[in-house]
Structure 1
Amino acid sequence: MSAPGNGLRVVLADDQAMVRSGLALVLSSEPDIDVVAECADGRELVRAVGEYRPDLVLTDVRMPAMDGIEAARQLRRLSEAPPILVLTTFDDDEVLWPALAVGVEGFVLKDSPAESLVAAARAVARGGTWLDPRVLPRVVARAVSSPVAAPAAAQTMARLTPREREVLDSICLGASNAEIAGTLRTTKRTVKSQVSSILQKLGARDRAAAIITAYEAGWRRPPG
């Protein structure tokens, strides 16, 4: 654990000490990231978030005492809940849907290179999303398994204005509101309003759900 500074404040949780140490080393080596707490289970994670008020939570799911999904569920009850990035493995599909149901902002695979982990942490902390390219195709495949999913999603997508489609396209790329504002040459306040409108029109709880709707509709194709 590094001393708190002025960088991106991260609380991480994994029940394996060596994994925690490796994650902390990767993140703390970045000049703009501070790992302020390392936790061995979900109960420690919830307490640490209350104490340190981090900008980001990075958590494994399968932990003793309290798993990462339940911890995320409890954190969502906070008035200012931090964004949550979930660690998973390539073949652990059972994790994906419960995590999405709770409303986590991203998934990163445990065997991802260090630069991907850092990029995911920064993207999610900025208000973006991160769905690992190796995970996304399976998430979408399950989402569109119903024969009525694609037509319903396409009909829903038709409610968006051309500008809202541009914003959603940027969301699908993991962009934050500030980045979208820069790309579209508008204000963050305007983008925030447009994102709210998109979520309302799509009936989506969060950005991850909006991304899945875009793929369901065939508007975007998942990598791989």
Structure 2
Amino acid sequence: MSQGADKIRVALVDDQPLFRGGIRMLIESQPDMTFVGEASDGRQAVALAATIQPDVILMDVRMPGVDGLEATREIVARGIQSRILVLTTFDLDEAVAKAVAAGASGFVLKDADPEFLLAAVRTVYSGAGVFAAQATAELIRKFSESPGRLGGEPEAFQQLTEREREMFFLAAKGLSNGEIAKQEFLSEATVKTHISRVLAKLELRDRVQLVVYAYEHGLI
């Protein structure tokens, strides 16, 4: 395998040099990953994303100046296809919840085991979402109680078939493709196809955005 070929291109945004150095060494130790850049604040992060377009960006949520939340919003708004994995010190962080709503593909705790962080990078790269397990329920509760929650079915949602709606609600409750397949007596490939169609019709990036969509619109 040539340098960088078929590898997950990872960038890191964090204001602590020591932390950046440790993560860089961790990423570079993996045969399926390559470290392509780092930034110390949100402004640099947007420039890095636009220039290098990493596959996955590890984004600290709290930084001086432009923070990770604002950087995430800007990167998504520009249509940059990098997946953003937010790093947080706290199990529950309102800023992280807002970052996920803005387009981040999930989050992990900064003190997570190295193997968990690496697995999270691979998971986000594959198109799935990652939540720190202890924070999932509380994060979803925050979305459901958000003052900005919208009521009624959006027009796009009304275009889903009955089967696609079933898939939507099961995915929104956090079930994996395998769990949905078992419950609905379908193959995982069929479930994956349905979910892909749902995401396309609703113009959502991934399953994380599907969950956010469901709660923001009061669908569950």
The verdict on a shared fold, with TM-score over 0.5 as the criterion, is: yes
Give the equivalent residue in structure 1 for 2:188.
184
Q: Tell me how far apart the structure 2 counterparts of residues 91 and 141 of structure 1 sit (CA, whole Å).
A: 14
Q: Tell me how far apart the structure 2 counterparts of residues 195 and 120 of structure 1 sit (CA, whole Å).
A: 21
Give the equivalent residue in structure 1 for 2:39.
39
Aligned partner letter, 2:162: T
- Secondary structure of the corresponding residue to residue 36 of structure 1: strand
Q: Is residue 194 from structure 1 mapped to residue 198 from structure 2 by the alignment? A: yes
Change (3 A) 1:119 1:205: closer
Aligned partner letter, 1:112: A
CA contact (8 A) 1:128 1:174 kept: no
Aligned partner letter, 1:161: E
Q: Tell me how far apart the structure 1 counterparts of residues 24 and 83 of structure 2 sit (CA, whole Å).
A: 18
Point out where structure 2 has 5 or more consecutive residues left out of the alignment.
Answer: 178-186
Per-residue CA deviation, residues 178-209 of structure 1 (Å, 9 max, x unaligned), is xxxxx523497665223334x47xxx786324
Calculate percent identity across the aligned residue pairs.
33
- Secondary structure of the corresponding residue to residue 59 of structure 1: strand
1:53-202 to 2 correspondence within 5 Å? 53-145=53-145, 161-162=162-163, 165-166=166-167, 169=170, 172=174, 184-186=188-190, 191-197=195-201, 199=202
Aligned partner letter, 1:140: I
Per-residue CA deviation, residues 45-69 of structure 1 (Å, 9 max, x unaligned), is 1121122121111110111232111
CA contact (8 A) 1:130 1:174 kept: no
- Secondary structure of the corresponding residue to residue 121 of structure 1: helix
The CA deviation at 1:102 is 1.3
- Secondary structure of the corresponding residue to residue 66 of structure 2: coil
C-alpha RMSD of matched pairs (Å):
3.4
Give the equivalent residue in structure 2 for 1:16.
16
Q: Tell me how far apart the structure 2 counterparts of residues 101 and 211 of structure 1 sit (CA, whole Å).
A: 9
| Count of residue pairs brought into register by the alignment | 199
